[in-house]
Amino acid sequence: MLVSAPGNSNLLRVSLREKGGIPFKCGGGLCGTCKCRIEKGLEHTDTVKAKERKHLTEEQIKEGYRMACQTFVNGDVSVSW
């Protein structure tokens, strides 16, 4: 699925709007269910937040994992979950 979004868009909100299917329960960085992997375009995401570090290991972060509810994008990304 390919979708368009304005710059500095929240990844989970884009997924919800476009019916992309990223799973979530809280949407506020508390539960960790929206963990996803940025397959391409990691350089187009903002910095990893403290809330993400509570749910992701350093290894996962290095592999491109992020929490969609905490991630904002400013360019093309490819995501899996």
Residue-range domains of the chain with CATH = 9-80 (3.10.20.30)
**Distance in angstroms (rounded) separating the CA atoms of residues 50 and 78:** 23
pLDDT for 1: 72
- The burial of 40, by beta-carbon neighbours within 10 Å (0-12 exposed, 13-18 middle, 19 or more buried), is given as exposed
Q: Which residue has the tokens 């403290």?
A: 50
In order along its 81 residues, the chain shows pLDDT tens digits of 778 889 999 999 999 999 999 999 998 999 999 999 999 999 999 999 999 999 999 999 999 999 999 999 999 999 999
49 near 29, Cβ under 8 Å?
yes
pLDDT for 43: 97
| pTM summary value | 0.92
Instruction: State the DSSP H helix or E strand holding residue 17, giving kind and residue range, or none if neither.
Output: helix 11-17
